[in-house]
Chains A and B, each alone.
Chain A
Amino acid sequence: MAGTVRNLSYAVSFNGTTLTNVVSFRWSLGYDLSSGEAEIVLPLKSDAGTYFDDVSIIVDGSTRWSGLLYEWNYRLYPRAVSMICKGRLARADDYKLPTVSDTRDKGLLLDDLTGGPATDEAIVSAVLDYAGVGTNGGSIGGTGQTLGTIAPEEFVWNYSDSALSYIHKIDAISLGYRTFESVGGQIYRVQISGRPDSGPELTFTEGVDIREGQTSRTVSEAYNAVRISGYAVGDYLDPRVWYQAESNPFMSESQPRVYTQDNPMIERRANESAGEGISCQALAEYWLRELNREIVKVTMRTPRSDVIGPGQVHLVQGPGGSADRMGVGEVLWVQRCDGELTQDGAFSQSVTYIGGGT
């Protein structure tokens, strides 16, 4: 018998005060979530703080989740009060530009936001600053491409857009760079594209540390051709459209399944086209890598207490390293992680992965 007996330490901090009566908690982090989420169950309401005060969940001395209190939920019986919390990116989702009633402007130009054309990472950083949301120790990466030189009017931050929805617009053309919250409330912007090519940070093995698990492999969501079109003004000589197709064992180039995307923030046709900005070609190549593959989705639950966050790379495998019951033995992106301490004291983490392709 191979039993692991442990006595993990847990702490929940609310506005700087450690709560001593936590019944249970759970948290969610994911690069597909607009912000992190957490729920902390107490027998009675805490008076240590109020709305938008800091909340952190600490497991074995490391902060796993950090955000702000948004809501109290009360339950009659068994009597309980839940703290409903969101990550700091939710503040960016709440934030909209202050409107001026007598202006005809649609919103904020890059000239006013970043002082003119800027890289995608500079724009995202400026928007977070504008909304008063720090990265909390994270980092904002990007393509390094300067945006807004050819079609500056397409990069206006509209009054109707929240800071986070404007960031999502920039992310949508940034070749897989995504802005999300990770462990400890840190905000990152990193590229997540195709099958991960780095070594795994953690390895999980059937029969060792996987409590529940399932895998799906499918090509039903695959596309083997991509057509990207961009900014259409003044492009008669070099139309901003790019079509690219590849065959795969299930789809031929002569009968392609075509994914299309039209986005006026794409400012160039090909990588060799004059000027600066994201090109239709670069985005087509990104989407083809993403879509022309067998998609592998894995969900598993582990009792392990390692620090797990979205954007990590894990190896999930059967005994001995090969695929077995779950049909997976490869490196995968962590798309989402849900940590949980139940009322009866069991700690586990549910991890959702995505991978496939090359």
Chain B
Amino acid sequence: MSTFATSSVTVTFTADGSNMSEKREARAQVQDIPGADAFYVDLAGRGPLTLTVGMVLANSTAWGQANVAVGQQGTLAIDGLDTHQAVLMSVNRPAPMPDGQTKATADFLITDA
């Protein structure tokens, strides 16, 4: 079981390892010089780590809790992975399955890595 616990709500879900990705981008701005092939690259550090997780939510109540957690900071604990402080940036889901479960996707912004 995995959890995302904020000060107001705890979302409990099963992480879907086949639908999970981590991403971090460089902050590098390219300024092109017209009339030739010269260019300047300003290195400006790197952006924060983002984590996209497929989550299986047990029922519509859990989906509702995930919605409440959007835009909040909390503690993200996914199975055996390191625990992180994170902000839940977005959740989205297709239609629920016949048994009431929801296969949703959540985007987290990791704030401590």
Q: Which residues of A are interface residues toward B (Cβ below 8 A)?
A: 1-8, 206-211, 303, 319, 324-325, 342, 344-348
Contact = CB atoms under 8 A, between A and B. Distances in A.
A6 B37 contact: no
Size range of the interface on B?
10 to 19
A344 B29 contact: yes
Q: A-B pairs with the 5 shortest C-beta distances?
A: A345-B44, A207-B36, A346-B29, A207-B35, A303-B40
Given A345-B29, A345-B45, A3 B35 contact: no
A5 B38 contact: no
A345 B34 contact: no
Nearest to A10: B44
A5 B43 CA distance: 7
B34 A3 contact: no
A79 to B, nearest CB: 14
A344 B35 contact: no
A313 B53 CA distance: 58
Dominant secondary structure at the A interface? loop
Contact of A211 (B34, B37, B41, B45): B34
Contacts of A3: 38-41
Nearest to B26: A345
A344 B39 contact: no
Nearest to B38: A2
B44 A344 contact: yes
28 contacts: A2-B36, A2-B37, A2-B38, A3-B38, A3-B41, A4-B39, A6-B40, A6-B42, A7-B43, A8-B42, A206-B34, A206-B35, A207-B33, A208-B38, A210-B33, A211-B31, A211-B32, A211-B33, A303-B33, A303-B40, A303-B42, A342-B29, A345-B27, A345-B28, A345-B29, A345-B43, A346-B42, A347-B42
B33 A208 contact: yes
A5 B35 contact: no
Interface in B32-63: 32-45
Contact of B38 (A207, A342, A346): A207
